[in-house]
């Protein structure tokens, strides 16, 4: 993953502050270490620290560096531990480099360079690219030739930014499967995403795989895979790319939870489903990861029930490695918040290569992302920039698009969707009740989430939310499956969080809860006022607004997000930047 940024000031002012600001917007991509390098009269000056960006900011106060051209990096470790020596920028005598991706042939390159007498300081794969460049300079090649030779030598995925000591007016950058945008405005910038450079730029060019660019304060020249100059289209920086900060909230996650009614409202207003969208489609294949995969599982329940089209949901990271049968006329739906998840992108490309009769659609929260650009058709979730690593508003917006698709031939259900934003708004008022539950479970080691039918994926998602930010081990189960094994986990302390509103599945779910209650003491119920009437005071109850049962997955996601949030705050963990995670997963 990792976030990279480069800035060239047009008026020769110091870019370090702007680089750090940009890195702050990229920290969602990783926060194991951070670093910056500038080039100027004093040559290449570098500063790096382990841990979050704040540490780099503190170090810069004590040891300021300055220059009108610089590159920065925030790391999500792949090769080598999160230490300062493994932090980027990587430096040699004449080269500074930042890298996002994985250089797959780094061992061969490294052993060759070692044999030639070059030394290495880190355990990273990235360092071979920098040392390789140094070798080419030592062999007498100029920076451009050295850069091109390096691009030919490395195999794998990359977004590179490189500065040469002897070319202090230029940033060289290249992309293969790792995102990169070049921006123009007050300054000329390069970043892993448009949001990181939007403060300084009004127009953006997205690099495609195999492209490289030479960037100066006067603009950029773009080259394709054959090093031929190419014209690239500039697009305006739009509001949906701009991270507007925490807006007075203590964390992005709670701000984003609170934004859900508006995100759902906006998503309902856009994304009209073309009349003939499902014509000649014999099946639907949904490809996604993590939370987006859970949205896909809900989609399966809805699509099969209301469109009667067989639907398969696949974990994108598994899909292309198991020789799947891709039937003709399949509608492939890739669901993604970031639009950059490499597993989802590659699964989509695999379908493209192997069956040309398939139609490829994406549900994406980022316009112009790699997945959005690769799909034949895009439904855009209008959630706005999501910064918290734990996905919240993007998830319910994905579900909203899926509901619009699934109910597109059912006018009664389509009109029911209009009740959602208000019901979601009312559910946010339950925060005080949820605070009390959170106190009770914050010290637990394990938690169980139970649901049935389309609330089963929401049990999975509730458990994922809790475990990824609070580090409490949580598992979601289909409630009817408990008796086939997981029931052994129940004891007097483990919280059993049950999704049991009134409706078609209520009686079955009620029985499953009785079975759990006969063995455990800590039942927490999320229900509506009708459902609550069937339970006595021995269970904790959170009572949600009433709504059409088909919309439960969207509504019931919200209190589970709140629960995970409050538990994590009580535990004093970093809600927005949980350990080991990154928001945009661009390595396999
Ligand atoms: O950007 P994507 O939706 O493709 O990302 C997929 C997963 O990495 C993501 O949903 C992840 O599981 C989140 N941490 C969940 O909160």
Tokens standing for 39?
């080039």
- pLDDT block averages, 10 residues each, the chain of length 588: 94 95 91 94 93 94 95 92 94 96 95 96 96 98 98 96 96 94 96 90 93 97 96 85 81 96 96 91 97 98 97 96 94 96 95 95 92 94 93 98 96 95 96 94 96 98 98 97 92 96 96 93 96 93 97 98 98 93 81
- Give backbone dihedrals phi and psi of 500, rounded to 5 degrees, phi first: -140, 65
124 vs 49, 101, 104, 191, 342, CA distance in Å? 16, 11, 11, 21, 20
pLDDT attached to residue 240: 67
State whether the beta carbon of 586 lies less than 6 angstroms from ligand 1. no
State whether the beta carbon of 316 lies less than 6 angstroms from ligand 1. no
State whether the beta carbon of 390 lies less than 6 angstroms from ligand 1. yes
Mutating to test ligand 1, I would choose from 31, 193, 288, 292 the residue with most ligand atoms within 8 A of its C-beta, which is: 292
Task: Compute, in angstroms, the gap from residue 290 CA to the centroid of ligand 1.
Answer: 5
Contact criterion met (CB below 8 Å) for 448 and 549: no
Which domains are seen in the chain, by residue range? 2-237 (3.60.20.10), 248-427 (3.40.50.10490), 429-573 (3.40.50.10490)
Give 323: exposed, middle or buried? Use CB within 10 Å, 0-12, 13-18, 19+: exposed
Task: Compute, in angstroms, the gap from residue 286 CA to the centroid of ligand 1.
Answer: 15
Task: Compute, in angstroms, the gap from residue 583 CA to the centroid of ligand 1.
Answer: 7
Tokens standing for 469?
């930010």
pLDDT attached to residue 171: 98
Active site residues: 2, 583
Task: Compute, in angstroms, the gap from residue 411 CA to the centroid of ligand 1.
Answer: 31
Q: Alpha-carbon distance 460 to 297, whole Å?
A: 10
Query: Roughly how many angstroms between the first and final C-alpha of the chain, as a whole number?
Result: 9
User: What residue owns the CA closest to ligand 1's atom 8?
Assistant: 290
Q: Which atom of ligand 1 is nearest to the CA of 290?
A: 12
Q: Which atom of ligand 1 is nearest to the CA of 581?
A: 14
State whether the beta carbon of 126 lies less than 6 angstroms from ligand 1. no
3-state DSSP assignment of residue 369: coil
Task: Compute, in angstroms, the gap from residue 535 CA to the centroid of ligand 1.
Answer: 35
State whether the beta carbon of 469 lies less than 6 angstroms from ligand 1. no
Beta-sheet strand order (sheet of 377-380): 311-315, 283-288, 330-336, 359-364, 377-380
Contact criterion met (CB below 8 Å) for 69 and 40: yes
């Amino acid at each position: 993953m990792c976030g990279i940024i480069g800035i060239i000031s047009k008026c020769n002012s110091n870019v370090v502050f702007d680089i750090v600001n940009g890195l702050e917007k990229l920290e969602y991509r990783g926060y194991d270490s951070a670093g910056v390098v500038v080039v100027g009269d004093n040559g290449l000056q570098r500063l790096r620290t382990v841990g979050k960006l704040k540490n780099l900011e503190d170090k810069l106060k004590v040891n300021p560096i300055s220059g009108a051209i610089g590159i920065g990096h925030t790391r999500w470790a792949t090769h080598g531990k999160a230490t300062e020596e493994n932090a980027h920028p990587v430096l040699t005598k004449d080269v500074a480099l930042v890298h996002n991706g994985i250089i797959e042939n780094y061992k061969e390159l490294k052993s060759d360079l070692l044999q030639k007498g070059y030394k290495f300081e880190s355990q990273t794969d990235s360092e071979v690219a920098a040392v390789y460049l140094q070798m080419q300079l030592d062999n007498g090649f100029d920076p451009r030739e050295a850069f091109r030779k390096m691009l030919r030598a490395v195999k794998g995925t990359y977004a590179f930014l490189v500065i040469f000591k002897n070319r202090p007016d230029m940033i060289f950058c290249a992309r293969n499967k790792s995102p990169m945008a070049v921006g123009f405005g007050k300054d000329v910038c390069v970043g892993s995403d448009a949001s990181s450079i939007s403060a300084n730029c009004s127009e953006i060019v997205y690099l495609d795989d195999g492209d490289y660019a030479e960037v100066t304060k006067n603009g950029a020249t773009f080259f394709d895979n054959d090093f031929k100059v190419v014209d690239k289209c500039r697009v305006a920086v739009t509001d949906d790319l701009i991270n507007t900060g925490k807006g007075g909230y203590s964390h992005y996650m709670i701000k984003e939870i609170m934004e859900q009614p508006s995100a759902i409202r906006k998503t309902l207003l856009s994304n009209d489903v073309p009349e003939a969208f499902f014509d000649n489609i014999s099946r639907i294949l949904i490809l996604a990861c993590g939370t987006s995969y859970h949205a896909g599982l809900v989609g399966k329940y809805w699509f099969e029930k209301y469109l009667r089209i067989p639907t398969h949901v696949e974990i994108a990271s598994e899909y292309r490695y198991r020789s799947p049968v891709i039937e003709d006329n399949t509608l492939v739906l890739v669901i993604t918040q970031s639009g950059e998840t490499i597993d989802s992108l590659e699964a989509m490309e695999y379908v493209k290569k192997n069956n040309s009769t398939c139609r490829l659609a994406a549900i994406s929260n980022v316009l112009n992302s790699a997945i959005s650009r690769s799909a034949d058709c895009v439904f855009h979730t209008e959630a706005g920039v999501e910064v918290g690593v734990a996905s919240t508003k993007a998830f319910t917006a994905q579900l909203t698009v899926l509901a619009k698709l699934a109910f597109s031939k059912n006018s009664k259900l389509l009109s029911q969707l209009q009740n959602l934003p208000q019901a979601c708004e009312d559910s946010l008022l339950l925060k005080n009740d949820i605070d009390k539950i959170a106190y009770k479970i914050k010290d637990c080691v394990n938690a169980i989430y139970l649901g049935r039918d389309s609330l089963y994926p929401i049990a999975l998602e509730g458990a994922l939310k809790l475990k990824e930010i609070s580090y409490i081990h949580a598992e979601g189960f289909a409630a009817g499956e408990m008796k086939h094994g997981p029931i052994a986990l129940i004891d007097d302390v483990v919280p059993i969080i049950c999704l049991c509103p009134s409706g078609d599945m209520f009686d079955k779910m009620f029985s499953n809860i009785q079975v759990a209650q006969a063995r455990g003491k800590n039942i927490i119920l999320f229900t509506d006022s009708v459902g609550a009437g069937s339970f006595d005071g021995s269970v904790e109850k959170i009572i949600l607004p009433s709504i059409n049962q088909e919309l439960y997955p969207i509504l019931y996601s919200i209190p589970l997000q709140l629960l995970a949030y409050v538990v994590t705050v009580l535990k004093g963990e970093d809600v927005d930047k949980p350990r080991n995670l990154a928001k945009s997963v661009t390595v396999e």
